[in-house]
């Protein structure tokens, strides 16, 4: 691999060139007082993220999730949980 070395004070003036060289495959090293300090490397391309819709479809196909019913079965209301008077009061008291 070919290498390019720039002192930091010169790299400031040639930053665009140094970036182009790094993207082209050169090893670009920036030095401070003659010692290697930083290496410019191109950013690896990230794989495209899955959209929410595709993720839901994939998880549904894998059986990891299943869609919630949008309405109760025909003729049946949603079940009502037991109603106990004073639930709000008990909840607020439990927070103290």
| Per-residue pLDDT tens over the stretch 34-56 | 999 999 988 888 788 889 999 99
Specify the pTM.
0.47
Contact (Cβ atoms closer than 8 angstroms) between residue 73 and residue 54: no
| Token pair recorded at residue 20 | 């182009």
CATH 3.40.640.10 for domain 3-40, yes or no, is no
Q: How far is CA 62 from CA 13, 29, 41, in A?
A: 54, 47, 39
Q: What is the mean pLDDT of residues 84-88?
A: 82
| Token pair recorded at residue 89 | 């009061």
Q: What is the mean pLDDT of residues 60-89?
A: 79
> What residues does each domain of the chain span?
3-40
3-35: per-residue pLDDT in tens?
A: 999 999 999 999 999 999 999 999 999 999 999
Contact (Cβ atoms closer than 8 angstroms) between residue 20 and residue 1: no
Which pLDDT belongs to residue 13? 93
């Amino acid at each position: 691999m070919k290498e390019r070395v720039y002192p930091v004070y010169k790299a400031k003036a040639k930053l665009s060139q140094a970036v182009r060289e790094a993207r082209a495959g050169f090893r670009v090293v920036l030095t401070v007082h003659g010692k290697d300090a930083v290496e410019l490397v191109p950013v690896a391309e990230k794989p495209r993220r899955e959209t929410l819709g595709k993720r839901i479809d994939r998880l549904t196909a894998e059986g990891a999730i299943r869609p919630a019913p949008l309405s109760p079965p025909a003729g049946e209301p949603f079940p009502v949980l037991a109603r106990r008077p004073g639930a709000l009061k008990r909840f607020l008291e439990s927070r103290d």
